[in-house]
Amino acid sequence: MFLNYLIKRLASAVFVLFGITTLVFLLIHLVPGDPVAVMLGETARPADREALRRALGLDLPVLQQWWQYLRGIAHFDLGTSLHSKQAVTQLLIDRLPATAILSMASLFIAIMMALPLGILAAVYKHSLLDRASMIIAMLGVSIPNFVMGPLLVLIFALWLGWFPVSGKEGLSSLILPACTLGTALAGILSRMVRASMLEVLQEEYIQAARARGLSEVRILVLHALRNAGLPVITILGMQLGALLAGAVITETLFSWPGIGQLMIESIQKRDYPVVQACVLLISATYVLVNLLTDISYTLLDPRVKLDA
Instruction: Supply the DSSP string of 240-304, one letter for each residue.
Output: HHHHHHHHHHHHHHTT--SHHHHHHHHHHHT-HHHHHHHHHHHHHHHHHHHHHHHHHHHHH-TT-
User: What pLDDT sits at residue 263?
Assistant: 87
Report the interhelical angle of 272-300 vs 88-123 (nearest 10°): 40
For residue 165, give the 3-state DSSP assignment: coil
What are the residues whose beta carbons fall under 8 Å from the beta carbon of 63, sequence distance 6 or more? Answer: none
User: What pLDDT sits at residue 103?
Assistant: 86
What domains can you pick out in the chain, each with its CATH number? 2-74 (no CATH), 94-300 (1.10.3720.10)
Q: Is 5 exposed, middle or buried (0-12, 13-18, 19+ CB in 10 A)?
A: middle
Beta bridge partners of 87: 80
For residue 79, give the 3-state DSSP assignment: coil
Q: What type of residue is 227?
A: N
User: What pLDDT sits at residue 41?
Assistant: 64
User: What pLDDT sits at residue 307?
Assistant: 55
For residue 87, give the 3-state DSSP assignment: strand
pLDDT of 28 > 80? The answer is no
Q: How far apart are CA 13 and CA 293, in angstroms?
A: 14
Q: What is the mean pLDDT of residues 293-306?
A: 64
Q: Is 114 exposed, middle or buried (0-12, 13-18, 19+ CB in 10 A)?
A: buried
Q: What type of residue is 275?
A: V
The gap between the terminal CA atoms of the chain, to the nearest Å, is 6
Q: What is the mean pLDDT of residues 33-46?
A: 66
For residue 80, give the 3-state DSSP assignment: strand
User: What pLDDT sits at residue 34?
Assistant: 64
Name the nearest CA neighbour of 225 among 197, 204, 205: 197
229-247 as b/e: b if 16+ CB within 10 A: bbebbbbbbebbbebbebb
Q: How far apart are CA 239 and CA 243, in angstroms?
A: 6
Q: What type of residue is 117?
A: L
Higher pLDDT, 231 or 264: 264
Higher pLDDT, 241 or 14: 14
pLDDT digits (tens, 9 = 90+) for 68-104: 888 888 888 888 887 788 888 889 999 888 888 888 8
Name the nearest CA neighbour of 249 among 266, 267, 236, 261: 261
Query: DSSP character for 224?
Result: I
Q: How far apart are CA 20 and CA 246, in angstroms?
A: 19
User: What pLDDT sits at residue 305?
Assistant: 59
pLDDT of 212 > 80? The answer is no
